[in-house]
Amino acid sequence: MSEDTIIELQTPPLPYYWESGRSDFQAGDRHPNRRNLGLFDLLIVAEGELHIGENGREWTLGLGDALLLMPDGEHYSVKPCETQTTFYWVHFEHSAWQQGARFPRAEGSVVNSPFANPHAVRVPKQIALPAPDIAFDLMRQLLELPVGDSFWEEQSLLAQLLALLEKARSGDNGKPGNRLAERAAAYIQHHYREDITNETLAEALHFHPNYIVRSMKKKYGATPSHYLLEFRLERAKRLLVSTEWPIERIADEVGFRYAPYFSACFKRKLGVSPLRYRKQFNREWT
């Protein structure tokens, strides 16, 4: 597994804060060994070096380094600290996560909601924070909260901490390829009812189609055609639940010219036909 592993937290639901703390190790101290903790364990080193492993991978974390340990993994001390070491830790829970994934659901997966998750928090497995003092300040705020009477403050600070990690990972958003991918995505979202090809995107954005495809795959993990299909299906799901329009009209409304092809794409992605999907959620929401 590569060093740029991403942990994708689908939202909603939101990550749920459990507890946090600060550990001060002397030379010779070790991080405790745990297996199947059931919670994410986020470590942020403020001083010294922490030597830790998980499922056969090993890291030496220094000042400003963050590491996210998995709830179903086995993590352990690789060797004792050689100098005084201080690190912050946060335990949080999340019921919908994937490692190294880009899309929230596999084709044919169980449908639990009429709408897809509007966002996925993509947290790096390990990263050197460009501004660790901000993370340290958030941790100090967490530790200063009164125990048992700070639910919303705890959840807010956890969200800010995860946002900091996500933004640190995507620090290259100013690169031309990322800006182009965002322009391509915006074009697709605006023109999704139309016939969009790599060539029409190239003409609209004035870039070679191969460059547009590479840029979108790098930023979104999807080609333009896959991104377009996902977007159309999301719009179709909303119309199936919120209107009584026939399937043929919904298919046309979201850019499918042939209703049978729309139904086939929908079932391949969601595991149920559009009609069954509508009946399922109309029944549940009445």
221-254: pLDDT as tens digits: 899 999 999 999 999 998 998 899 999 999 999 9
Cα separation of the two ends of the chain: 46
**Sequence-distant (≥ 6) Cβ neighbours of residue 248 within 8 angstroms:** 259
What is the DSSP pairing of strand 6-11 with strand 16-25? unpaired
Q: Could you tell me the residue ranges of all domains in the chain? A: 6-169, 176-285
The rounded distance, in Å, linking the Cα atoms of 111 and 161 is 30
> Which CATH superfamily includes the segment(s) 6-169?
Regulatory protein AraC (2.60.120.280)
| Average pLDDT over the chain, rounded to an integer | 86
For the whole model, what pTM was predicted? Answer: 0.62
Q: Tell whether the model's pLDDT for residue 16 goes beyond 60.
A: yes
CATH of domain 176-285: 1.10.10.60
Quick one: DSSP state of residue 160? H
Residue 21: strand pairing partners: 89
Which uninterrupted H or E stretch holds 138? helix 132-144
Which uninterrupted H or E stretch holds 8? strand 6-11
Most confident segment among 80-89, 158-167, 180-189: 80-89
176-195: pLDDT as tens digits: 788 888 899 999 999 999 99
**Sequence-distant (≥ 6) Cβ neighbours of residue 188 within 8 angstroms:** 196, 201, 224, 227, 228, 231
What are 241's two structure tokens? 């639940």
Most distant CA pair in the chain: distance in Å?
Answer: 70
Alpha carbons within 13 angstroms on the beta-carbon side of residue 14 total 13
pLDDT at 219: 82
Phi, psi of 171 (to 5 degrees): -65, -10
What are 283's two structure tokens? 């029944």
